[in-house]
A and B are shown apart, each in its own frame.
Chain A
Amino acid sequence: MDPVEFLRNYLTRDRDVPGNDTEEFLDLDYFDAGLIDSFGVINLVAEIEGTFSVRFGPSDMQSKEFRTVRGLSGIIQKLRSG
């Protein structure tokens, strides 16, 4: 599964997010936008790791990229490719 589509579906699973099919959505900071909170990220991490067979390290989770769809999918791709 494409990480971008996975993340798009995950973040819009329980709510309608206008513009989620646009380029701008890929660079939206989903924490600042309130789409996910600090507790919800645990579940997000668990689902991503389960779906893509990857494991995030501390530096991945602290990075700026972790906070956007585009950035996080890039981390996932990097981890998948080893």
Chain B
Amino acid sequence: MRSLGLRRGDVVFSHSNVGFLGFPEEGNDPETVFGVLLDAFMDVVGPEGTVLIPTFSYSFCKDEDFDIDNTPSSVGAFTEYFRRKPGVVRSLEPIFSIAGTGPKAGMILSDVSNECFGPGSAWERMLQEDAAIVNVGISIGSTFIHYVEQALGVPYRYRKLFTGQYAAYGRSGRMGSVYFVRDLSYPGATPSWKNLEPDARDRGLATVAEVGRGEVSLIRCSDMFDLCRDGLEKNPAYLVEGPLETGRPNIVAVPEDIPALGPQSTMTEMIDAVWDLPRDIVSEGYDRALLALGGVLDMKVHEYPTGTECWTWLIPEKWKCRDAYVETMDGRRVLSYSDSPLHVASYSVPFEGELTRDELLGRIEVRESLPDAVPFGFRYYNRGWGLSCSLKTRDSLKDDRYRVVVDSAFSYGTLKVGEVVAPGKSQRSIVLCAHLCHPAMVNDGLSGVVVGMEVMRRLLSMPGRRYTYRLLILPETIGSLAWLSANEDLIGSLEGGLFLEMLGTDAPHSLQLSYYGNTRMDKCMVSALKANDPDGWVGGYREVICNDERQFNAPGARVPMLSLSRVYPKDSGKWPYPEYHTSLDTPEILSPGRLESSVDMVLRMIDNLERTNYVINKFKGEVFCSKYGIHIDFYKNPKGHAKLFNVMDRIDGTTTVEDIADDCGLTHDECLDVVRTLEARGLVELSDVPIRDGRERDG
């Protein structure tokens, strides 16, 4: 090892296949063989040096828990031998843990980031220490190259979140780990050293010595990084088997069987065309639905690839369930994905096997209150698999054993957000938002989508709009985060928004306020609700129903987005509505006319916004009402007198019609009547921006 260039005080990382060297003179039992190798390292680097050995367990990839002290290494007997030695520390890394001993082991291996191969990983710290990669009995290649691949953003890998349960330092809990995984749609992307190995030798970056039956090699992390970088610049397939010409068909293929919709399609036709598609958050079913809606209105489709960072989130993989079923041992199917996509929890991992009845029941979700309903389950960020069925079906399962098949697959894909824009005179935008991602359900999600589409269709036919209107159709939560994080430059111009959801039931409108609760958006929308749905009710932020408005209102965005729905109050026993998140949420539960009246409500809210201006006083002091013919006798008409003066008292260029109406307890129209009267006499002007004392002010 000294002849290779390993020095006292070095940090050394080693992959080893000790058997390939043969038996040492000292003996042929494992303890002796492994001891000889470890002693060789320790003898060369000395007490000042640090020895690091991979103890990869791939735990979260296998849906297993990771216990830092007890989970064995999966990468060879020597690594297990090393891991269990007294004084050896190990990184809390549930996929690619490393164990180490020596003065720098703690610094390199403690508090590693949750990016397996990213910033803050042990690999980065090894590079910073210019550790020596010493391979024993195997080729020069190293897992370290995945750190280089991620740093350089190679196209054949992407970041994927794995989650699972960990135990370490007396604590336990759940954690996430982001792994730069190989894209399986690139058949040639399996790692290969066929270019790296000869280059490293030819350029003298790797030193090699024959030992016993095999070889020991050394290359410094910095040299490995430079070698890989230089190689990838010339040949994108430098580190893989190749070829890489066949790219990612997933993100360019247009799905087949797109339902036919056109510019005249009604809301009912839109629902009928797409409601029963398997519209999971990143899926072909979702894509088909979105593309179909694109036939109704001109829509831009934004694509966000798997692994893309959206602030603190990552775009997940695409999911497809080809088939899934439960059958008795003599082949009788008791439930099947082909009957309803809700039978399989969305994003379930593949599974095939026999289960006892009890094991199967532990995997099945039912809705006790609705015996015929199949509940909706999902596992987007909690790897595993699950099934759902009706209570009746579950109670009919009497056999001792069942066969279960979940034929699902994950792949690289793109999350899609559809955007319809109705430009206005102002660049300031109002955002309407609805989610399309609930498979085979209607009221939750799709009702908001079609109301939004109809509102936009009518807005597009209205000339002279003041604001620009944007309808975003997206997968819940992650879709909003994708769009917001990719459009940070637009956030400042978003005046506010309205999330549309669950609008098809018989319940009156429910309006959830924005985070601030008292913005111009809030006041205009509350005013419209009160004027047009006397039974409608208003709830505070997060008090009615929670959806994507949370992302818009959240810190870092703070766009005042309200939420309009028709949910039952929480104390009604029916919140949000009885068929919520079940197979009973079908077109049959939509009440006739409700969607149309919700379209009307949204348009009235928009009308209030369009008509709401700052009221600029062109007078000083109290107005001489008799001179302008607007005097109201206090004794003959005290209410009219009070209304006029209450409004005039609040006009100072910093308040809007809506502010004044809200403050005076008037409707928008009542207040506007007074303002128009004053405007007609030149006593006030209306403005899009606040102006006081002749100068623009912050509102």
Partner-B contacts on A (CB < 8 A):
37-46, 56-58, 61-62
User: In the complex, how many angstroms separate the beta carbon of A57 from the nearest chain B beta carbon?
Assistant: 8
User: In the complex, how many angstroms separate the beta carbon of B699 from the nearest chain A beta carbon?
Assistant: 65
Contact, CB under 8 Å: B77 / A39: yes
Q: List 19 A-B contacts (CB under 8 A).
A: A37-B76, A37-B77, A38-B18, A39-B18, A39-B33, A39-B34, A39-B76, A39-B77, A39-B78, A41-B17, A42-B18, A42-B19, A42-B22, A44-B19, A46-B23, A57-B213, A58-B213, A62-B139, A62-B215
Give chain B residues whose Cβ lies under 8 Å from the Cβ of A57. 213
Q: Determine the distance from Cα of A56 to Cα of B18 in the docked complex, in whole angstroms.
A: 15
Give chain B residues whose Cβ lies under 8 Å from the Cβ of A42. 18-19, 22-23, 28, 33
**Residue tally, chain B, CB below 8 Å to A:** 21
Known: A56-B213, A58-B213. A41 touches B138 (CB 8 A): no
Q: Determine the distance from Cα of A56 to Cα of B212 in the docked complex, in whole angstroms.
A: 11
Give chain A residues whose Cβ lies under 8 Å from the Cβ of B18. 38-39, 42
Contact, CB under 8 Å: A38 / B23: no
Q: Determine the distance from Cα of A44 to Cα of B23 in the docked complex, in whole angstroms.
A: 12
Q: Mark B16-33, 1 if CB is under 8 A from A, else 0.
A: 111110110000101001
Q: Determine the distance from Cα of A40 to Cα of B28 in the docked complex, in whole angstroms.
A: 11
Give chain B residues whose Cβ lies under 8 Å from the Cβ of A62. 20, 138-139, 214-215
Q: Which of A41, A42, A46 has most B Cβ within 10 Å?
A: A42
Give chain A residues whose Cβ lies under 8 Å from the Cβ of B76. 37-39
Which chain B residues in 191-218 approach chain A with CB under 8 Å? Answer: 210, 213-215
Cross-interface CB contact of A61 among B16, B30, B33, B213, cutoff 8 Å = B213
Contact, CB under 8 Å: A58 / B210: yes
Partner-A contacts on B (CB < 8 A):
16-20, 22-23, 28, 30, 33-34, 76-78, 137-139, 210, 213-215
Q: Determine the distance from Cα of A52 to Cα of B151 in the docked complex, in whole angstroms.
A: 48
Q: Determine the distance from Cα of A41 to Cα of B78 in the docked complex, in whole angstroms.
A: 13
Known: A38-B76, A39-B30. A45 touches B214 (CB 8 A): no
Q: Which of A43, A57, A58 has most B Cβ within 10 Å?
A: A58
Q: Which residue of A lies closest to B16 (CB)?
A: A38
Contact, CB under 8 Å: A41 / B30: no
Give chain A residues whose Cβ lies under 8 Å from the Cβ of B16. 38
Q: Determine the distance from Cα of A39 to Cα of B29 in the docked complex, in whole angstroms.
A: 9
Give chain A residues whose Cβ lies under 8 Å from the Cβ of B138. 62
Q: Which of A44, A45, A57, A61 has most B Cβ within 10 Å?
A: A61
Contact, CB under 8 Å: A38 / B19: yes
Give chain B residues whose Cβ lies under 8 Å from the Cβ of A45. 19, 22, 213
Q: Which residue of A lies closest to B211 (CB)?
A: A58
Q: Determine the distance from Cα of A72 to Cα of B307 in the docked complex, in whole angstroms.
A: 40
Known: A45-B22, A62-B138. A38 touches B77 (CB 8 A): yes
Q: Which residue of A lies closest to B79 (CB)?
A: A38
Give chain A residues whose Cβ lies under 8 Å from the Cβ of B20. 38, 41, 61-62
Q: Determine the distance from Cα of A81 to Cα of B139 in the docked complex, in whole angstroms.
A: 27
Q: Determine the distance from Cα of A56 to Cα of B654 in the docked complex, in whole angstroms.
A: 89
Q: Determine the distance from Cα of A44 to Cα of B213 in the docked complex, in whole angstroms.
A: 13
Contact, CB under 8 Å: A40 / B19: yes
Q: Which 8 pairs across A and B sit closest by C-beta, in order of nearness? A: A41-B19, A42-B19, A38-B17, A39-B77, A38-B19, A38-B76, A61-B20, A58-B214
User: In the complex, how many angstroms separate the beta carbon of B533 from the nearest chain A beta carbon?
Assistant: 65
Q: Which of B16, B28, B78, B213 has most A Cβ within 10 Å?
A: B213
